[in-house]
A and B are shown apart, each in its own frame.
Chain A
Amino acid sequence: MGKTRGMEVSIAAAEAVKQADVDVISAYPITPQTHIVEKLSEFVANGQLEAEYVTVESEHSAMSLCIGSQAAGARTFTSTSSQGLALMSELVPIASALRLPMVIYLVNRSLSAPLSIWNDHSDVMSIRDSGCIQLFVKDGQEVYDHLFIAYRAAEKQEVLLPVIVNLDGFLLSHTFEPVEVMEEERIRQYLPPYRPLYTLNPDKPITMGAFAPPSLFTEAKKAHDETLKASHPYLEKAWEEWAVISGRRYRPVEEFNARGAETIMITMGSLSETAREGVKILREKGQNIGLLELRQWRPFPQEEFRQGVKGVRRLVVIDRAVSPGSTGGPVASEICSALYGMEDQPSLENYVAGLGGRDVTVEDFLNMAAPPSREKKYAFSIHGAR
């Protein structure tokens, strides 16, 4: 087994990138991602990580460069937040459509304006439909573990898609937590060297990024959609195999006191930890409540989700981003669609909470979980707005 040490989560993230033996890193600094890329530069500068670290002049170039290096056959990594992702966003769907299995730590931060360096999920929601695998983690160990899990699943020849691992800015990235750092040998067993299927190689020339006439575009999109959906079992497998070497078993939808619960709260990312505390308190008070933590956002784990909410009377969905002008937050909208046509649909209350670094306390969860005075089938509000 590895060694458990207390460390800043960003440093644990960088440690994982180092152990994954990536070939190319390209990133542009933005708060709160900076500690990850600074640590990686240090690893490269000290010869602890044998990789090309390219300090580009923008996130647009960072992602362009990652596309180039991954297409050349190199295991590639980048990390960004907020505006950085927005600047990359022209290229993220291209990276996935070109089937380039890079891994991205997205240290979630609000999108401007107003400018805010603090956390919410508006950045990732803006590229929801980029065709990448999108996962959420809630603590330092999960951050570390998911770097390997991401590459393991992404590099499967049946998958070959970028993976975005979402971790909450500051709330998670800048906290100190005990993290078990695995032995190198175990990592090497779990994550063998990258064997790309197609590369830009003069001995075997291929054309990448051709344009599609209307007679083919729909087919290309359908193939992409099917591939992303079909990545689900490979993620499952990567989690299973990780459990074998680490003893930590992850699932697309994590359950906490959810079996047989009447009310279920649904969270993503680091909010889940606080939500668990709320659930414990309410359980002690006799409320039959549980929690579902949505780890796998894309592809959406429809089956596991429906399984998890079977027989539930009431759902309380916590979103961490607004979808202005819509009927609810992006997660709640997704869940409504996932529930559609299901027998005995639960009622659904949707709260948008924790925007731009606003604290979401255990107290908040108790309030949001409290049964509404009058039962409605659907309700939406931005929690805590004055």
Chain B
Amino acid sequence: MFAVKTLTDREYLAPGHRGCSGCGQAVAVRMVHKALGQRIVVACATGCMEVISSPFPQSSWEMPWIHVAFENAAAVASGIEAGLKALRHKGKIDNRKIKVVAMAGDGGTADIGLQALSGALERGHDFLYICYDNEAYMNTGVQRSSSTPYGASTMTTPAGRIQKGQATWKKNMMEIVAAHHIPYAATASPSYPMDLLGKVKKGAEIKGPAYLHILSPCPPGWGIEAEDTIGLGRLAVETGAFPLYEQEEGKIRLSLDFDKLIPLEKYLKGQGRFRGIDQERMDYMQERVLEMWQDLKRKAGLRELRPSRFRKEGVKWIRTS
């Protein structure tokens, strides 16, 4: 259990990195590493976090950290894990635990890195994989990924006269990961830090592969103000667009349940990337979000929402990790 008061003062992501102000990913990384501590090794994919944190000869990383390429964080992490295992086995290093952590963006995870991730999960390496999902290729200037939400405009899915932003639905990484039958997977958000910290800790303590999917609002990419990052992260959860839940041994557990959801429009309205979205699309998205939410509740063994399904205020926690 984490509480604000017991949280370490130590920073593992040194200040002075080059992230944009209000970067949700940087906030999440800072939190994540407070939970992970010092005895880890990190394999980081190419992307925003790599670029903002490691301009030679400077580095923001207070732990051993390696960047190799865009699509192979899971494979590099597999190698670190295998290497440490062999060295420990042969008595070349001591027996103290070192957790191996891989980190990548949504592009590095759901698109170009999917094969390496699948391979590593299937092989069952003892590592924690964290996807920082800012819903596009931000490092290269906001191009769509398969994790970009429907309707969002990006530089490669612009809102034009004929095509209106992203035309496909967001890829469900949690289901893909579940199909690998790994011991633990969870979604998290820097807007719910205590929940996030608990999940990181759990994922790091479990033996075998664990997966965390963290929604990380990005001011320039989403067309929002720096100060809106945390609030929008909450709206993503409270509208059901990004539910917080855990998958453990085939069971789904909602981290945060609502009797009523906030209308999706509230979440979309505040973001430049959804500007000009028409009512038809809005309705379609609302319907699909609801369906997914109901489906998740069914899978979690909870009662589905009743017809009057929207609410105005108030959040009720049912579980903290």
Contact = CB atoms under 8 A, between A and B. Distances in A.
Interface string A186-228: 0000000100000111101111111111001000100000000
A64 B79 contact: yes
Contacts of B59: 207, 210
Contact of A56 (B51, B55, B69, B119): B119
Interface in A101-137: none
A73 B87 CA distance: 8
B89 A50 contact: yes
A2 B303 CA distance: 74
Contact of A68 (B43, B56, B89, B122): B43
Contact of A69 (B72, B83, B93, B120): B83
A148 B95 CA distance: 29
Interface in A51-83: 51-52, 54-58, 60-61, 64-74, 76
A61 B67 contact: no
Nearest to B67: A209
B71 interface: yes
B167 interface: no
B63 to A, nearest CB: 5
B83 A74 contact: yes
A54 B123 contact: yes
Contact of B68 (A52, A54, A67, A193): A67
Contact of A26 (B58, B82, B84, B115): B82
A26 B79 CA distance: 8
B56 A65 contact: no
Interface centre among B61, B64, B78, B85 (most CB of A within 10 A): B64
A94 interface: yes
B163 interface: no
A24 interface: yes
A78 to B, nearest CB: 10
A55 B120 CA distance: 10
A200 B77 CA distance: 11
Interface centre among A54, A68, A201 (most CB of B within 10 A): A68
Contact of B79 (A67, A193, A199): A67
A369 to B, nearest CB: 46
A210 B54 contact: yes
A283 to B, nearest CB: 51
A343 B138 CA distance: 57
B78 A72 contact: no
B90 A23 contact: yes
Given A65-B75, A200-B66, A212-B56, A50 B83 contact: no
A201 B40 CA distance: 8
Interface residues of B, number: 50
Contacts of A200: 41, 64-66, 80
Nearest to A69: B83
A66 B69 CA distance: 13
Contacts of B13: none
Nearest to A55: B123
Given A58-B115, A61-B116, A72 B63 contact: no
Contacts of B98: 202
Contacts of A57: 115-116, 118-119, 122
A83 to B, nearest CB: 16
Nearest to A53: B82
B76 interface: yes
A23 B83 CA distance: 7
A45 to B, nearest CB: 15
B54 A91 contact: no
A90 interface: yes
Given A50-B89, A60-B116, A73-B93, A24 B69 contact: no
B156 to A, nearest CB: 22
B87 to A, nearest CB: 6
B155 interface: no
A94 B84 CA distance: 21
Contacts of B79: 24, 26, 54, 64-72, 76
Interface of B: 38-41, 43, 50-51, 54-59, 61-69, 71-72, 74-87, 89-90, 92-93, 98, 115-116, 118-120, 122-123
18 contacts: A23-B86, A56-B78, A58-B115, A58-B116, A58-B119, A64-B68, A65-B75, A67-B79, A68-B76, A68-B81, A72-B41, A98-B68, A205-B61, A207-B61, A207-B64, A209-B66, A212-B56, A216-B57
Given A23-B86, A202-B39, A220-B56, 12 more contacts: A56-B123, A57-B116, A57-B119, A60-B75, A65-B82, A68-B78, A91-B68, A91-B69, A205-B65, A207-B66, A208-B67, A209-B68
